[in-house]
Amino acid sequence: GNSVTQMEGPVTLSEEAFLTINCTYTATGYPSLFWYVQYPGEGLQLLLKATKADDKGSNKGFEATYRKETTSFHLEKGSVQVSDSAVYFCALKAGTASKLTFGTGTRLQVTL
Amino acid sequence: SAVISQKPSRDICQRGTSLTIQCQVDSQVTMMFWYRQQPGQSLTLIATANQGSEATYESGFVIDKFPISRPNLTFSTLTVSNMSPEDSSIYLCSVAFGGGHTGELFFGEGSRLTVL
C-alpha cells in the first residue's frame, strides 16, 4: 500500500537557520505529493504540492522537489522565522482517488 | 477556499458513551471527509461523507462505531459510539472542491476527544 515517512520531530532551530524536513514515500504509479502545515490553533492547510517527477513546489519561501529516483519530497527553507513554528505534514495522493495518505507530522519550533 | 467550523473543539467523555461532532462549511462542497489523528500517529481517513447516502468507510472503520450523516452540501456529523480510551484522538473534518482530484483539502481545527 501507499505510505509516507517523515523525520521525527521536534525540530528546533534558531531564526534565520536553514530548514530541511525529510519525507520519503512508497506508492504505486505516479503519486502527487503535498506538504501541509498546521499553525497553532488552526486547521491544516496546503503549503505546496508537486504533481510529477522533477516538479518543484514552492510557497512562502518553502520549496520541495519531487524526486522519483529517491522517492523523496524533502521540505526546505533557506531562512526560517519564528512565525514558521508549526507542524508540517507530508502527504501523497495516488491515482484519481481523492484520498490522501499522510505522514506523522514534524513539529518545527523556531526560536529567536 | 473554505471556512470549516467543528464543534465541540474538545471534550472529555466517559467510557461507553457516544459523542457527535459537527462540521459546518461556509460554502457548498462536493466532498467531505473525516480523519482521525491519534497521539503520535499520522492522519487516518475514517470515511468519505456522501450527501444523501451512506458514507464510504475505509478499511478498519465501520458504520456502527462511526455513524456519519451528511444531510446537505455544507454540513456533516461524525458520531463516535460506545467510546473507549483507545478512541481518544483528534477528529478532523476536511473538504475538497470539485472531485477532489487536485488533492487540496481544507481542514477544520479538529475536535480533541479524551475518553476516560
The pLDDT tens digits of the residues spanning B88-108 come to 999 999 998 876 667 788 899
DSSP string, A23-54: EEEE-SS--EEEEEEE-TTS--EEEEEE-STT
Q: B46: nearest CA in chain A?
A: A99
Cβ distance of B103 and A89 shorter than 8 Å: no
Dist CA B103 CA B17 (whole Å) = 35
Local mean pLDDT, 10-residue blocks, chain A (112 residues): 90 97 92 93 91 95 96 97 96 82 94 94
Option in A32, A43, A103 nearest B107 (CB) = A43
Nearest Cα of chain A lies from the Cα of B105 at a distance, in angstroms, of 7
Of all residues in chain A, the one with the smallest CA distance to B40 is A104
pLDDT of residue A56: 97
Q: A28 and chain B: CB distance < 8 Å anywhere?
A: no
Residue B2: its pLDDT value, please? 82
Phi, psi dihedrals of residue A82, rounded to the nearest 5°:
-55, -35
| CB atoms closer than 10 angstroms to residue A86 | 21
Can you give the pLDDT at residue B31? 87
List the one residue out of B73, B63, B71, B76 whose CA is nearest residue B22.
B76
Q: What pLDDT does A75 receive? A: 98
- pLDDT at A107 (0 to 100): 95
Q: With CA atoms as reference, report the closest residue to A4 among A82, A105, A79.
A: A105
Q: Which residues of chain B have pLDDT under 50?
A: none
